[in-house]
Structure formats: structure tokens, C-alpha cells
A and B are shown apart, each in its own frame.
Chain A
Amino acid sequence: MALLQISEPGESAAPHEHRLAIGIDLGTTNSLVATVRSGMAVVLNDELGRSLLPSVVRYGVDGAVEVGYDAQARQAADPRNTIVSVKRFMGRGIKDIEHVESMAYDFVEAEGMVKLRTAQGVKSPVEVSADILRALRERAELSLGGQITGAVITVPAYFDDAQRQATKDAARLAGINVLRLLNEPTAAAIAYGLDNAAEGIYAVYDLGGGTFDISILKLAKGVFQVLATGGDSALGGDDFDHRVFCWIIEQAKLAPLSHEDARLLQIRAREAKEYLTTHGEAPITARLSTGEFVDLKLTTAIFNEITHTLVHKTLGPTRKALRDAGLSPDEIAGVVMVGGATRMPQIQKAVEDFFGCEPLNNLDPDKVVALGAATQANLLAGNRAAGDDWLLLDVIPLSLGIETMGGLVEKIIPRNSTIPVARAQEFTTFKDGQTAMALHVVQGERELVSDCRSLARFELRGMPPMVAGAARIRVTFQVDADGLLSVTAREQTSGHEAHIEVKPSYGLSDDEIAAMLKDGYTHASDDAFRRALREVQVEAQRLVEAVQSALKEDSHLLSTLERAHIDACMARLQAVMIGDDRRAIDAAMDALSKGTAEFAARRMNQSVQRALAGKKVEEL
């Protein structure tokens, strides 16, 4: 029997027509699912009252697929078939993954995304993520007593097209209708209701189990823009555990440990760390397989001392993200704390000292992302309250553009445009009689293609031959609500069209994105110079080609002396145009234009006469 929730006035759904929407935080270490019940975002627990689902999947030899705590429990016993932290593999090739050598998996190098060989065959990260998502969907369906209408799934702000597409594919495989992918920091900000707050700039500090992310968001007109992201993909609560683990070994003067004893002490270390969040000292006791007995007390003072370099390590990327955004700490209106490890008092203190304001921490830090996603899902599914008629938009993290002559990037959609978005621009042909055009789609902030990331290449063929510059090719970039790109090129007179969905096989790492963004800022003036240079070089090349083709056709219109002068001007231009002296190129172009002015006039006359000769009088 269905249980009812309280609806907004006038919004009671007809029986069996409830729009059940969920938010999913698909984390590296843990995943969660949340929904809005009677107007309140809540995380959905499993049968045992646990909210987290460890992001671990085991493909057993017996054909069973275990997800969550069960899989985690068998991880040590069956490391090869137990996949942890699969999020790190999403949309990635083997070359993109750090520490491959230290992982227990049997990697299969595949085109595009890496794959893993398990007892149940080769699995792609998309399939593994789909198994996690399926478990969450089933939990939600049991909790809500019906079919899920749709879900909002969160992804890190720095996830690129390949990683976002992989996440969407995983959801589809799990039978989930994705209403939208949402950036994790944006979701956290929504959970705190910052989207209803005054405009301002916020920082989201996310210290999870294994990763640290810092994002700087700007809220303007109900839209969050990601101003900068940064972090450390190998820094998290686990590192604090490790420091405590090392301290135990040192204090108890333990000999090298067996695998099982090491696991046991790692677990004790984590327990002690979490206990210290609310207590002044933590007892650590364990009986090892060697018969040795560990009996220690870890005080807050010692814990702070052995972990303070880790705390400090998060401030470097934080400072850098602020610098990338061109901001100082006092310009931040609020700091949102995300991730279980931000519960530690010394983290709270460090963040407070750094920003000079008390961080927002009254929501459960490992639930905020899921809660924000649920809030957004509820809105997108149409269960909105009166006055809530805003629709939160996201922005694209890096500019999208197309390669033009000379290896220059023409930006079509600038970075931080709100999505969904469509923009078009017209291009033309460079050569006479050109019937095909190669289009190269790139992503990045720099002016030169070689400094940006290549997303896709495709060709528009079968255009009618026309003189250079006459064809009109309209290139349309469209980014959907999930940040996925499609590009269409259409020749306007003939209607010939080519289209591509950008599904790049490789992703950029967050470091690369951050580097590309920073690069874009620091090289702005440098780039402007190079861009201007490239532009004259392209112009010069065009002039040389035009003169060459004119000479080929009509050199009979010139005297030997005239011809020699033109040749000399052209040689001069060809010599300087490969250099980087813009003024010299300009001057040489000028000389060649002047030197060929008379020639051009004669050619014009000739063609007019020919045209007249070929036509009957009546037609004129």
C-alpha cells in the first residue's frame, strides 16, 4: 500500500502518477541516493539503516555480483575481482590512470576507455558503475514504493565530456532516466540553499576518503558558475588513517606485519581517527596474529601533530584555485564543507582560519551532495513549490571552438556559458573551387589549436565549387543540459550538412584542466600577439596564392619587366611571412598588392570583355 507525502498546494498527483525523482552522489569511495519527501530532502537508507553504499563491486567466480559492504568485506580476499574506486577509470584510457602498476586489476587495454578482466568477463568502468547505480535505484524503488521517474547524478566539476558521457551511459545501463548531470560542488551549494541566497562567491571544500576537491562558485541570477577548480586526486581521509597506522607501528615497535595484521591495524587507525573527532583521546587495542598485543592511547594533540602536514596540503590547491579565479580569501561569501573527512576539528579550524569565516557545516558532510542532487531532481521532475520557478543551470568548464586557418582557434561557445546552449558562426572557404571542409573541434582557453585539446574531427563534403570566400558554412555548436556537445556544419546555398556528436575517447585529468585554465590566463597577452601574427600570415598566404593563380592564367597580360617586379615582390613576401615580424609582413603584402594593382585591373577588363562577348545584347 502506497504511503503518501505532503504535496505543495494544488500539486497533489493523481494516484499512481507520483513523479518520483532521486538524486545520486556517485562517489569514488561511497555512493548515496536521496529524495525529497514532503518537501524535505532526505537520504534513503538500506535495510540495515545505513546511508552509504561503498562504491565497490565484486564479480565472484560463482557468478554472483555483490555491491557495497558485502563486496568491500571480500576485497582483501578477492582483490582482482573486487573493483574499488571505479570512478577514477570512467572515460579514461590506461595512460590517464595513475599508479596502474600498484593496482591488483587485470587491465585490458581497449580503444578509448580502459577495461578490467574479472571472473565474469571483461567489464568496462561504465558497467561497473551501472551495477552501483542499479543497487541505488533498487533501494530507491523500495523506499519510495514505485518506479523512479528520473535522477540527477552528480559528477566532479572538472569531469570532461568523456567522463560525463560515461556516467550517463552507466545510468542508462542501470535503467535510470537521467534528468541531468550536476556538478558536485553545485549540488552541495544547493543543499545549503545558497541558490536562494544573495548573489556571491562561494568555496566548496570537499575532503573525501581519497580525493580532495576545491571549487570556487559564483552565484549570479540563480546560476552557479564554476570560476575555478583544483585539488589533489590522491589526498583524503585515508591518508590520515595511514599516518595513525604508521604511528601505531612506531609506538608499539612492531616487526613487519602480515597482510591481515596490517589490515586490522588500518581499521583500528581509522576508528581512532573518527573517534577523535568527538573525543580528546582514543584507545587503540588489537591482538595480532603473532600474539603481540597493541594497547595505545592516541591524544588529539599527537594526532594533530602527526597529520598537520596533510591539513596544510589542502591549502595549497585552495590558494591556487583562488588565484586562478583572481580572488582573495576575504572575497568568499561562504565555505561549504563536503566529505566525511571535513568532520575533523583541525580541518574545520584550518578552513576557518584560511577564509576568515566559519564554514557551513550543519548538514552531514557526506550527504550534502546527494541532498542537493535530490532537491534539483525534484524540481526537474516538476514537483516544484510555488515561488520555486527558477531552474538552476550549469555552465561549461572550458571554451569550445573550431580550428581555423593557420592553426588558430575560433571560440564558438565561451567558457562559463550556461547550458543548455547553442551558438552558430559562419565560415567560408579558403581556396577557389574548394568542395570539402575539414572541421576540427577543440576545447580550451588558448588561442592556438596546438595548446588546446582536440575533441573531434569531421568533414563537410560535396559543397558546390565556388571561388574562395563565396561559400557560407554555418557551424552550430550545441551543448545539452548535461554538458555534452554536438556540432553541425551546413553549407547555406546547397544545404549540404555534416554532423557529429562529440564522444571523445579520452578525458583530461583535473590537473590538466586546471593547467589549461591557468595557461589561458597567464598566456593571454602572449597569445594575443601570436594570434595577430598568425592572422597576417594567413592573409599573406592567401595573397600569394591568389597572385600565383592569376599569373598562371593571365601572365600574357604582363610585360617581362612587370612580371619580374611582381615576382620580386612575391619572393620578398614569401621570405618574411615565415618569420614573426608582423610589420615586415604587412609591408611586403602592401608592396605586392600595389605591384599587382595594374595587373588586377587588366584582368578585370579582360573578363568583363569576355563576358560581354559571350552574351547576346538582349540579355544585358
Chain B
Amino acid sequence: MTITLSDAAAQHVSRFIAKRGRGIGVRLGVKTSGCSGMAYKLEFADVAEPEDVVFESHGLKVLVDPKSLPYLDGTELDYTKEGLNEGFKFKNPNVKDQCGCGESFNV
């Protein structure tokens, strides 16, 4: 089981946490909703829950709850620019198809 951050994502995550002034890492997850069934969750993490699975990538903690993990295994979180827009992107090998928006997906 593995979840990683790309170089760019790691850089941005540490910058955002530094700016925010607190946080132990980022939390990745999935929740059901959206136009193709499931949606990603990307949040700052202030505390680790006892059941969390914690990965280390570029010295940063990536926290995932066990229910989300099967849907995210092998995912790399990336940070990209598309035109004027910029932000994080889930590169998830489990996804069969996703809605055009990329915010929700099916496995």
C-alpha cells in the first residue's frame, strides 16, 4: 500500500502548512457523492485519528482513513497549472472513469 506526493505537490503542501501556521500533514480521502459516485477529499490534518494509516512522502505526513484506502492505493498527489488555474490533482490508478470535472470518479 502506498500513497505519495509529487515534488511539486510536496513543495506546495509544505508552503501552505507553513503559511497556515499549524498542521501535521494532509489528509486524503474519498466520500460518496458527485456525478460519478465518489469524490476526493483533500484537507489539512491537525490530528491523527487512531485508525488512520499514515504515509511519509518528502518528509510530509499523508493521512488516510482505512475506508478510503482501497480506493486510493497507488495514488500520487500532484500539483499542476492548467492555463490560469492551478491546484492539486489525484493521479489514481484505481479510477475506471471519471466525470469531466475530475472531482468525482468511479472504481
Contacts and interface: CB of A to CB of B under 8 A. Distances in A.
A40 B18 CA distance: 10
Contacts of B102: 1-3
A385 B31 CA distance: 21
Nearest to A5: B87
A234 B43 CA distance: 47
B19 A9 contact: no
Interface in B9-25: 12-13, 15-16, 19-20
Contacts of B83: 47, 142
A611 interface: no
Interface in A81-105: none
Given A1-B100, A14-B33, A143 B42 contact: no
Contact of B89 (A4, A7, A14, A385): A4
A364 to B, nearest CB: 15
Contacts of B44: 6-9, 39
B26 interface: yes
A252 B103 CA distance: 63
A9 B45 contact: yes
Nearest to A143: B84
Interface of B is mostly: strand
A139 interface: yes
A44 interface: yes
A299 B65 CA distance: 63
Contact of B43 (A7, A15, A16, A145): A7
B27 to A, nearest CB: 7
Nearest to A18: B103
A144 interface: yes
Interface in A13-32: 14-16
Which of A11, A38, A139, A142: most chain B Cβ within 10 A? A38
Contact of A39 (B19, B39, B85, B100): B19
A12 B42 contact: yes
Interface string B72-99: 0000000010111111111000000001
B10 to A, nearest CB: 13
Given A8-B43, A11-B43, A1 B34 contact: no
B7 interface: no
B46 interface: yes
Nearest to B33: A14
Contacts of A11: 43
B4 interface: no
Nearest to A7: B43
A3 B82 CA distance: 9
Interface residues of A, number: 30
A121 interface: no
B103 A15 contact: yes
Interface of A is mostly: loop
Interface residues of B, number: 37
Contacts of A280: none
A10 interface: yes
B1 interface: no
Contacts of A12: 29, 31, 41-43
Contact of B12 (A10, A38, A47): A38
A144 B99 CA distance: 18
Contact of B16 (A2, A40, A44): A40
B15 A40 contact: yes
A40 B20 contact: yes
B101 to A, nearest CB: 5
B25 to A, nearest CB: 11
Interface string A125-165: 00000000000000100111100000000000000000000
A2 B20 CA distance: 23
A570 B90 CA distance: 91
A12 B100 CA distance: 19
Contacts of A39: 16, 19-20, 44
A45 interface: yes
A142 B85 contact: yes
A440 interface: no
Nearest to B83: A142
Nearest to A12: B41
Given A5-B87, A39-B20, 15 more contacts: A1-B100, A4-B42, A4-B90, A9-B27, A9-B44, A12-B31, A12-B41, A14-B39, A15-B35, A15-B99, A38-B16, A40-B15, A40-B16, A143-B86, A386-B46
Interface of A: 1-12, 14-16, 37-40, 44-47, 139, 142-145, 385-386
Q: Sorted from nearest, which 6 A-B pairs have the closest CB atoms? A: A3-B87, A1-B102, A15-B103, A15-B34, A143-B84, A38-B16
24 contacts: A1-B82, A2-B101, A4-B87, A4-B88, A4-B89, A5-B88, A6-B13, A6-B16, A6-B42, A6-B44, A7-B44, A14-B34, A14-B39, A15-B33, A15-B103, A15-B104, A16-B34, A16-B35, A38-B16, A38-B88, A143-B84, A143-B85, A145-B85, A385-B20
